[in-house]
Structure 1
Amino acid sequence: MIILLSPEQPVAHESAIVNTLLERGLSLFHIRKYQLTDVEMAAYVDAIDPDYRKQVVLHSHFHLANELGIGRLHVREEDRKQHKQQAFMTGFTLSTSVHTITTFNTLDALWDYAFLSPVFPSISKKGYGITHTVLHDLRLRRNPHVRLVGLGGIDEQNYGQVFTAGADAIALLGAIWNSPQPIQVFDTIHKNIHTEIHHEAK
């Protein structure tokens, strides 16, 4: 499974890229646009093909979810610690973020999956993950209820290490939005993952 996070700042042809990647096999698209007004958020979501609405995840503007036909919400770590997810525990599929495997292991089955980061030094957030990454901590995973999604610095060269370390999925950000050829980057990773899965199944 490949998840894509939106860039926080606008990127040229952003909606067209998202629609193309969903068409080409992107599993889920996370919208991180905290600064948008309600009207702007509705317009952003409307630019995504309705056929893929079930694969869209909101990081904010939760009060618009039903109106926009979105059934997936992502609760940030600081919000989870304040139990803000309690208002959305029914009717939505929830995901969250953690930054240590110890915290991941304590998550209950309420969460469909959790981002664990940074597995590598960040591409989009310069300096993040330079002194500490969590890739080698994945072997300490003890939580059978929640899927683990590696996030941070993942690109077409290193994504395989994340699956080998024990992640269920990967999340992309800078590898896509900082690339002059985002669709080709996605295609390379997506194709290789499916080729490897096919070989393992033989």
Structure 2
Amino acid sequence: MMMLLSPEQPVAHESAVVNTIFDRGLSLFHIRKYQLTDVEMAAYVDAIDPDYRKQVVLHSHFHLANELGIERLHVREEDRKQNRQEAFMTGFTLSTSVHTIAIFNTLTAIWDYAFLSPVFSSISKKGYGMTHTVLDELHLRCNPHVQLVGLGGIDEQNYTQVFTAGADAIALLGAVWNSPQPVQVFDTINKDIHTKIHHDTK
């Protein structure tokens, strides 16, 4: 399974790219647009094909979720530590973020999945992951209740390492949005994943 995070800052033809990637098989799209007003967030979501609304995940503006028809919310690590998810535990599918496998292993089954990052040095956030990455920690996973999604620095060259290390899914960010051909980047990885799955199930 493959997910995509939005860029925090606007990118040319952003909504068109998201819709095209959804058409090509994207599983989930995470909206990280903390700076938007309520009106701007509603407009951003409305630009995404309604057929994919149930595959959209909000990182903020949770109070708009019902109005926008969104069923998935992502709780940031700092908010999870303050139990802010308790107000949204009914009616929503929840995900969160962690930065060590030790914390991942403590997560309860209220979380559908968690981002574990950075598995590699970040593409979009310069300097993040330069001194420490978590790829080598994945073999210490012992939490059977929560899916593990690798995030951080994942691209066409290294994504297979994340699955091999034990991740259930990957999330893309800089590899897509920093590329002049974002759809092609997604297609390359997605087709390769499906080819491997098909081969492995023969």
Q: Which TM bucket (shorter chain)?
A: over 0.9
Taking only aligned residues, the RMSD between alpha carbons, in angstroms, comes to: 0.3
Is 1:86 aligned with 2:86? yes
Q: Provide the C-alpha distance between the structure 2 equivalents of 1:143 and 1:195, rounded to a whole number of angstroms.
A: 28
Partner deviation per Cα, 1:70-99 (whole Å, 9 max, x = no partner): 000000000000000000000000000000
Match of 1:149 in 2: 149
SS at match of 1:143: coil
Residue correspondence of structure 1 range 109-188 to structure 2 within 5 A? 109-188=109-188
Q: CA deviation at 1:58?
A: 0.1
Q: CA deviation at 1:66?
A: 0.1
Is 1:35 aligned with 2:35? yes
Partner deviation per Cα, 1:129-158 (whole Å, 9 max, x = no partner): 011000010000000000000000000010
Match of 1:52 in 2: 52
Q: Provide the C-alpha distance between the structure 2 equivalents of 1:85 and 1:12, rounded to a whole number of angstroms.
A: 33
Q: CA deviation at 1:26?
A: 0.3
| Structure 2 gaps, min length 5 | none
SS at match of 1:121: coil
Match of 1:71 in 2: 71
Match of 2:196 in 1: 196
| Structure 1 gaps, min length 5 | none
Length-normalised TM-score, structure 2: 1.00
Partner deviation per Cα, 1:13-67 (whole Å, 9 max, x = no partner): 0000000000100000000000000000000000000000000000000000000
Q: CA deviation at 1:123?
A: 0.1
Count of aligned residue pairs for this structure pair: 202
Percent identical across equivalent pairs?
86
Amino acid of the structure 1 residue aligned with 2:30: H
Length-normalised TM-score, structure 1: 1.00
Q: Provide the C-alpha distance between the structure 2 equivalents of 1:10 and 1:97, rounded to a whole number of angstroms.
A: 23
Q: CA deviation at 1:110?
A: 0.1
Find runs of 4+ consecutive structure 1 residues off by over 4 angstroms: none
Amino acid of the structure 2 residue aligned with 1:196: K
Q: CA deviation at 1:169?
A: 0.1
SS at match of 1:54: helix
